[in-house]
Structure 1
Amino acid sequence: MTTLFIADLHLDPSRPQITALFENYLASDEVRHADALYILGDLVESWIGDDDDAELPQRIARATRAVRDAGVPVYFMVGNRDFLLGEDFARRAGFTLLDDGTVHDLYGRPTLLMHGDVLCTDDVAYQAVRKQVRTPQWQAQILSMSLDARRAFAAKAREDSRKHTGSTKESIMDVNGDAVATAMLNAGVDRLIHGHTHRPAVHPLDLQGKAAERIVLGDWYEHGSVLRVTENDAELRGLTID
């Protein structure tokens, strides 16, 4: 009995070896015999809409749909790169969409699931942009553009993101401890699983005198990263490219 978590794959045509690793992993016995697979955001480097006619979204949908068809639920939570992913693609891909901040029971232990970016409250500039792009009005305006225009917009957004990341202290881009504690206390849990920061680790916490933990998922830029949760433990492991 194992539940699997991945995030921050940032799949992109420029890194075909990672897309192949993703497809191969989803076809593995480990995934096909899991209790569930959770993808906690940033599955792709950028998502320009469910109507994207490029090859990559089609490959993703085939891989995840095959997992669902094998009887394994596939849960998906949008991140800061794929927040435009919606119900149409979710149906094709066999996803069950989750709200950021969902609590799921994992073998008797309620666990808070997040992408993680909302916890980075010290990065004021990022939070301002996040607030803007999550409004229905902004999203409707972007999705009304042609696919070519959206691709150009996404390329510029990635470049702006790289500049921001390169000029901002790492400590500012990490999660804020008070934000973590508040989220966990409000949810009534002693375990949080999230991605976004690309700093895989299991952090023991003291939550108002009670033992708790925060588990951070790794990214897939150079290799894979998977969290395996069982009734007895939670383990982060890497996946290598053949």
Structure 2
Amino acid sequence: MSEAIEARPGPASASLEFDELTAPPEWRRIEFLSDLHLSPQTPATLAALTRHLQETSADAVMLLGDVFEVWVGDDGRFDAFEADCLKVLRAAGARLKLYFMAGNRDFLLGAEMLADCGAQGLSDPTVLCAFGQRWLLTHGDALCLADKAYQSFRAQVRNPAWQAQFLNQPLEVRRALAQQMRNGSKAQQAMQEHWEDLDQAACIAWLKASNCVGMIHGHTHRPAEHQLSPGLHRHVLSDWDFEAEQARGDVLRLRQSGLRRIALA
């Protein structure tokens, strides 16, 4: 694993650290997107990402997790589908600043893939200092505290010993294991009456501890803007699905004038 995307202490930990990234003064536009869940079954979504990365006027694009439906190790990046994605991201990384933060599906994406894409890893969470304000970036899953089963699973798979053991297995074995875990996750989700959202008190605590005005995250697939308390806001990214009958996919664009949601579908 790259040090830039290693697991951080839990959200209730007093030792939680906030890495900082300062935008260069020449940047005029920064874009955020997440939850594309790219797979061989989503060619239209990959095509939409390709078009956007080719056409965007952003100085930097920050991918905040779950870019891929599953990622079982960087040694699989030359397989047919992964190689197509690598080509798209490499082209983007050659013409703008590209950043990647691990999600709950692609937390095993590491230093080799980042280097091949020309991308920089972001810790979760990271404070972005841009246009005179501080923004807290996170994928979001670490703050879904009410989902105890998921938090237990997250702690297991983010453990370096578990990851080393998993990555030591043959690629095809890893793919099969990942599919088994995914099937189990889908079965569990089907039995749930509702999806857990981010814990509001934890979000406020993170924002205050990091001295940020707003949080930008994905994971929940519930694009919205929430006022958490006076002066503190939470901005939720859209998931992407251009295979759907009603295609969807948004980006959040940050400029000196503020944050704006851009619908691409």
Superposition TM-score, scaled by structure 1 size = 0.92
Q: Kindly report the root-mean-square deviation, in angstroms, between the aligned alpha carbons of the 2 structures.
A: 1.2
Tell me if 1:19 matches 2:46: yes
- Matches of 2:228 and 2:163 in 1, distance apart? 37
How far off its partner does 1:57 sit? Answer: 2.1
Counterpart secondary structure, 1:51? helix
- Matches of 1:116 and 1:200 in 2, distance apart? 13
Q: 2:204 aligns with which of 181, 203, 211?
A: 181
Task: Look up the match of 2:234.
Answer: 214
Q: Which amino acid aligns with 2:233?
A: E
- Matches of 1:49 and 1:174 in 2, distance apart? 28
Q: 1:167-178 counterparts in 2 under 5 A? A: 167-171=191-195, 173-178=196-201
Q: Which amino acid aligns with 1:213?
A: H
How far off its partner does 1:205 sit? Answer: 2.4
Runs of 4+ in 1 over 4 A off after TM superposition: none
How far off its partner does 1:200 sit? Answer: 0.5
Superposition TM-score, scaled by structure 2 size = 0.84
Residue by residue, what CA displacement relative to the aligned partner does 1:137-189 show, whole Å, maximum 9, x if unpaired?
11011111111111111111111111222222325x21111111111111111
Task: Look up the match of 1:230.
Answer: 255
Q: Which runs of 5+ in 1 are unaligned?
A: none
Contact 2:100 2:121 in 1 (8 A): yes
Task: Look up the match of 2:62.
Answer: 38
Task: Look up the match of 2:245.
Answer: none
- Matches of 2:59 and 2:204 in 1, distance apart? 28
- Matches of 2:252 and 2:188 in 1, distance apart? 29
Higher mean displacement: 102-111 or 58-67:
58-67
- Matches of 2:163 and 2:206 in 1, distance apart? 26
- Matches of 1:164 and 1:216 in 2, distance apart? 24
Counterpart secondary structure, 1:34? coil
- Matches of 2:202 and 2:82 in 1, distance apart? 33
Tell me if 1:190 matches 2:213: yes
Contact 1:41 1:80 in 2 (8 A): yes
Q: Which amino acid aligns with 1:181?
A: I
Percent of paired sites with the same residue? 39
How far off its partner does 1:231 sit? Answer: 1.1
